[in-house]
Amino acid sequence: MSTKIMLVNPARHFIANQAGLGYLTPLGLVLIGGPLKDAGFEVKLVDHDMNGWPLNRLLEEVADYQPNYVLLGHSGSTASHNVVVQTVQEIRKAFSEIRIIYGGVYPSYAFESILRQVPEIDVIVRGEGEKTVVDLISVWEKSADLEQVAGIAWRRNGEIVVNRPQPAIQNLDEYRPGWELLDWKHYQMFGFDHAAGLQFSRGCTLTCSYCGQWMFWKKWRHRSPQNIVENMKLLKEKFGVKLIWFADENFAADRDLAKELLERIIAADLDLSLNLNMTAADVVRDAELLPLYKKAGVDYIVMGVESLKDNVIADIRKNNPFATSREAVRLLRQNDIISLTNIIYGLEDESWRTLFEKFRGMLELDSDILNAMYLTPHFWTSDGKATDPAKIIQSDLAKWSYRNQVIATSYLKPFELFLGVKLTEALFHLRPKALWRLAAHRDRRYLKIMRASILTGIRVVLAEIWEFIFDTKFVKRGKIKEIFGAERSKQEFTPLA
């Protein structure tokens, strides 16, 4: 009888997804599903979040499939942890013999507190999982002693054991994504159905103080351009995918490699809508390549501008002073590529003055879409370590999603900051320039995607207003004594040494 493995994307139920933003494929689970199947295991993927099921329906799926192992992973980091705990507790209560494995960014860092507080979880995978999960289950099928499996934390006779780090995967092409595990008709975004996440590279060459992704992956690595194009062809021809969002922290970290990939995509003539994450500095560096980006199908470039003040940019270790960000927006507009700029509230102590300065700066930046985010102090990041826990006013981890205020400000009450941010978003997207572009832009593809994006944004903002009024509570400053998950072993996290 074959070994059965169920991969579960837990039901985070983020309000932005439910309000119409849509759902991308749970890429982390897809990336470990392929290697598990190729190793001879029977694998089923259940996207509990996208399906929107109650927990009892998930338990019915588990009962029907009768897996030997349940693996849970998510893209929501800290914000998804509590729902993972609730899910594994219900699974363990109903199925005492199933072995439960948990992986992702948050558990990779918070493994000690999790293993101490959540006995239902048997093993935590730390770092990237393609090789680790195959090694783990292969060994576990033969023995209860997991000492030889690199990249995991587990318990032996009640004591927490931290195994040696798993070396970084040097050839990512060796591990194929398990695309066949997905129910494709439910994944859509920006008016495109059958939307897929795809990862060209891992890691980032920057070391931004608020971000932990560069720490998690340790160094920038990539699949070969040929492998990426083969995956794109498969997604288009076999699964009907129309939109691909590259889940890279820094897509164009290597200019020549990005150019080769774009040229291969153009030669393949796939007619896919592509969305990328790039730094403003790389957009400016690649000014002469932007026609290639457009020809390859790149409709949307997300840039982490974060702040419009050069001193703040320097403090957080970004590489895009305001003049660079403004030039990047201009170049993207020149090439009919939509620019979405992330701005983080909380990198400075916000007041009505700072909110007005951000709004004025955004008008000068003149990007197509503003994505307003809040500084979220994940304990493993530089900013998280520097945050005074007494300033934390949001005790609900589900709200640590970058779209909700977590840290108190000295000059604004939570409802005042929320009001200021939402007014900024509304007034920015209703500025005359933006409305004119929505009505009469020269590029039909731009019009289609921008109109769909703005309509989605309106639904999301309305949902967030409802959530703030009826489903958001804050605690008093000083009540939180420690940032969540920060209690950990003295061993530094170096899973990809």
What distance in Å separates the CA atoms of residue 162 and residue 126, rounded to the nearest whole number?
10
At residue 205, the pLDDT reads: 82
Q: Are 279 and 250 in contact (CB under 8 A)?
A: yes
Mean pLDDT (the chain, rounded): 91
Half-sphere exposure of 475 (CA within 13 A, CB side): 16
Crossing angle for the helix pair 130-140 and 27-38, nearest 10 degrees?
50
- Residue 251, pLDDT > 90, answer yes
Give the C-alpha distances (Å, rounded to integers) separating 358 from 74, 310, 342, 346, 453: 32, 12, 12, 12, 22
Among 74-83, 361-370, 376-385, 477-486, name the most confident range.
Answer: 361-370
What distance in Å separates the CA atoms of residue 194 and residue 234, rounded to the nearest whole number?
13
pLDDT digits (tens, 9 = 90+) for 167-190: 989 899 999 999 999 999 888 877
Mean local confidence (pLDDT), 121-125: 97
Task: Note the pTM of the prediction, 2 decimals.
Answer: 0.93
At residue 484, the pLDDT reads: 74
Could you tell me what percent of the chain has a pLDDT over 70?
94
Lowest mean pLDDT among 64-68, 196-200, 275-279, 382-386: 382-386
Residue whose structure tokens are 């992702």: 104
CA 314 to chain centre: 24
